[in-house]
Amino acid sequence: MAKKRQDKDLELFEEATETPETGAAPVVVEKQKFDPLRDDHGPLKQLVDFNFLQYATYVICDRAIPTLEDGLKPVQRRIMHALKEKDDGRFIKVANIVGHTMQYHPHGDASIADALVTLTNKRYLIEGQGNYGNIFTGDRAAASRYIECRLTELARKELFNKDLTEWIASYDGRNKEPVTLPCKLPLMLMLGADGIAVGLSTSILPHNFIELLEAQVEILREKKRTPVELNLLPDFQTGGLMDVSEYNKGNGKVKLRAKIELRKNNRLVITEVPHGTTTESLTASIEDAVKKKKVPVRAIDDFTAEKVEIELTLTQGAVQEKAIQSLYAFTKCETSVSSRLICLRDKRPVEMTVDEVLRFNTRQLLEILDGELNLRKAKLLDDFHNKTLVQIFVENRIYKKIEQCKTYEAVVKAIYKGLEPFKKQLRRPIIDDDIEMLLGVRIKRISLFDIEKNRKDIDDILAELAEVEKNLKGLNGYAIRYIKRLIKEYKNQYPRRTEAASFKEVEVRELTATELQIKRDENGYIGTNVKGETILECSSLDKLLVVWSNGKYKVMPPPEKLFVDDSLERCEVFNREKQFTAVYTDARITYLKRFQFGGVIMNKEYYCSQGEKSKLQLFVDGTPEGIYVKYNKAKGQRIYQQRFSPADIAVKGVKSRGNRMTTKSIKYIGTEPGRWWDPDDAGAIPDGVLL
């Protein structure tokens, strides 16, 4: 069946038609094969495309990416809204808040509880009571039924205003939830955020609250033609040190280090850990480095509770400063964090800088303050209107004019007529609701005491109204005073925790230059796991060059145990740019060459001679001034010693054959004349010629 179906799919369908009038031959029409790149697809592809787009949009806009306007993800916003609805100033069970939030958030209670704990540990918006875990050790919070929370005073005052909030129906249509909160704080930069969505991810690092407010003051004070240069740096709750040379205003990376203090008796104490690590992961990385003999530590004691305190006892003879460098090089005492500031603006993901976000927040602050002042102005005008009407109604005894009225319409008409001469004292026209309000005035308010109090209330309203109108005209100055009040109130509560510094690159090779010892034993083995004479000290990061007496060589990591027999010529740290001079004999002809090894493949065997039957006569670093050769005596031979000058030939690749030196049998060879060299005959001996 499958074969028939395949044949049918591959077949070109033909449609034959015969013209009835002429009886002409059938016309064959070929149907082209389906081209997936050019032809229209069917409804299944459209359905998949639509569903994927819906899913991607949902993940980006409703789950993973924070909104620029209030800096919150949907679950965080719903938690804050639920807390506001339940807020009475007292602590509330987290489980109750989780349940209430589920009216707005169509996901499980675990995700809501985790988000609430994370927000609480960031301190700004939610105050917790009970075990909320430990950001230093990584311990998890207790179950939501055992812990309590409430809004902080900062969140209660600066995040909510139902009159300035846009509302939409919740996912099931039973409730109303805010589109965004009318937040007056630069909350996204205060809290930071991480999120992975479809096709993009965001990583926003937290910043210091007070520094953000101070930068907003500078923005409000700047002139249009001379914008201020903002120097906003991240600030992490775990403290530590940071290098922001690559931060790039929120779209780069930050290098972080633990803060390590020197103590007596050859001890070090870690008092602050880098962001993204915990004391548990940090100590595990140190233990791993100790096993690999990367850091000179013999004991680790973790005394962390409310503050980080990891005590490291160094091995005897270790230098504290060098040990600190080793910790930064080989453990999580130094990490790096990438930053990419992506958020939702007008329901679309955009990439921004920290400066752009803060300027947007500052403009939004002005808009919200303007909205609050206008709402307050409208409320004051209503209060002024009502109290002025009551004062006119009582002082001029207009209520007396309704005593003889027999119908409600006559009462309303009489009050309107009585208020007519006093319209100039009011700031808006009188409406029927005002009449209803006057008819509800209680008899006791007509007393002299209540009239005097009413007059004082009107004076207070007018004074506050004048202040509001003044603030509306000078909105920038009002915003600056508002921010400075926040700075004064919270400066001591939110100090900077992370210290900016410039890190010097740790020279790992220098730290580990003598980490390993390559030894050689009597059985022809070399390596780090061999007992015998030490021939080389090196780093585990080094590559070793091993050269045999026939010219074979290999580049490899430091071996634990390698058999070389008695034919080992050279073992050293590999440097591809280093120059060598070699003399080797192959097929009774001796050659001299200067060369560099260049690039190699690890653990692959090569030859710097002509092959395995060759023999190295001399292998030295660089270019010696001369090479002295003593030949074996032979019948008819006139020259028994010669001096050659290697500088006369060029430096070539390792595969070059070299220059022909001699065909005589060599007895002695060296870069300096030995005892075997006859100085008395040196003047009569010609220098060797390299062919």
Q: What are phi and psi of 182, to 5 degrees?
A: -75, 70
Copy the structure tokens of residue 689: 């010629």
Residue 604 has pLDDT above 80, yes or no: yes
Domain coordinates of the chain in residue numbers? 72-179, 259-332, 370-490, 512-681
Whole-structure pTM over 0.85, yes or no?
no
What average pLDDT does the segment 7-36 reach?
50
Residue 460 has pLDDT above 50, yes or no: yes
Instruction: Note the CATH number of domain 259-332.
Output: 3.30.1360.40
Q: What CATH superfamily is the domain 370-490?
A: Topoisomerase, domain 3 (1.10.268.10)
Q: Which residue, 427, 86, 77, 262, is CA-closest to 271?
A: 262
Residue 494 has pLDDT above 70, yes or no: yes
Strand 241-243 with 259-263, pairing? unpaired
Q: Which residues pair with 344 in a beta bridge?
A: 67, 349
What average pLDDT does the segment 205-234 reach?
89
At residue 18, the pLDDT reads 45
Residue 248 has pLDDT above 70, yes or no: yes
Written as one letter, the residue type at 305 is A
Residue 388 has pLDDT above 70, yes or no: yes
Q: Which helix (H) or strand (E) holds 538?
A: strand 533-538
Let me know: does 478 contact 369? Beta carbons within 8 Å: yes
At residue 612, the pLDDT reads 85
Residue-wise pLDDT tens digits, 147-180: 999 999 999 999 999 999 999 999 899 999 999 9
pLDDT higher for 117 or 404?
117
At residue 113, the pLDDT reads 95
Q: Which residue, 560, 557, 561, 551, is CA-closest to 593?
A: 551
Residue 14 has pLDDT above 90, yes or no: no
Copy the structure tokens of residue 133: 């875990």
The span from the CA of 61 to the CA of 73, in Å, is 9
For 97, residues 6+ apart whose C-beta sits below 8 A from its C-beta are: 79, 82, 83, 86, 116, 149
Residue-wise pLDDT tens digits, 318-349: 889 889 988 998 899 999 999 999 999 988 88
* Domains 72-179 and 370-490 are alike in CATH topology: no
When the pLDDT of each residue in the chain is averaged and rounded to a whole number, the result is: 86
Distance of CA 430 to the CA centre of its chain: 60
3-state secondary structure of 598: coil
Minimum mean pLDDT among 24-38, 83-97, 281-295, 554-568: which range? Answer: 24-38
Minimum mean pLDDT among 166-175, 246-255, 506-515: which range? Answer: 506-515
Q: Tell how many helices (H) and how many strands (E) occur in the chain.
A: 16, 35
CA distances from 333 to 289, 559, 560 (A): 11, 29, 29
Minimum mean pLDDT among 351-355, 443-447, 565-569, 600-604: which range? Answer: 443-447
What average pLDDT does the segment 212-230 reach?
85
Percent of the chain with pLDDT over 90: 44
At residue 518, the pLDDT reads 86
Residue 7 has pLDDT above 50, yes or no: no
- One DSSP character per residue, 285-326 reads HHHHHHHTT-S-EEEEEE--SSS--EEEEEPTT--HHHHHHH
The span from the CA of 272 to the CA of 425, in Å, is 67
Question: Among 55, 104, 124, 146, which one carries the catalytic annotation?
Answer: 146
Confidence of residue 484 (pLDDT cuts 50, 70, 90): very high
Let me know: does 596 contact 653? Beta carbons within 8 Å: yes
What average pLDDT does the segment 54-66 reach?
72
Percent of the chain with pLDDT over 70: 88
Q: What are phi and psi of 307, to 5 degrees?
A: -125, 155
Minimum mean pLDDT among 367-376, 387-396, 503-512: which range? Answer: 503-512
Let me know: does 448 contact 394? Beta carbons within 8 Å: no
* Whether residue 146 lies in the annotated active site: yes
Residue 33 has pLDDT above 80, yes or no: no
Minimum mean pLDDT among 109-113, 209-213, 445-449: which range? Answer: 445-449
At residue 632, the pLDDT reads 87
3-state secondary structure of 38: coil
Confidence of residue 1 (pLDDT cuts 50, 70, 90): very low
Residue-wise pLDDT tens digits, 612-635: 888 988 998 888 988 888 888 888
Minimum mean pLDDT among 18-27, 129-138, 263-272, 297-306: which range? Answer: 18-27
Q: Domain 72-179 classified CATH 3.30.365.10? A: no
Residue in this structure with the two tokens 């309303």, named with its chain if needed: 412
Q: What are phi and psi of 571, to 5 degrees?
A: -140, 120
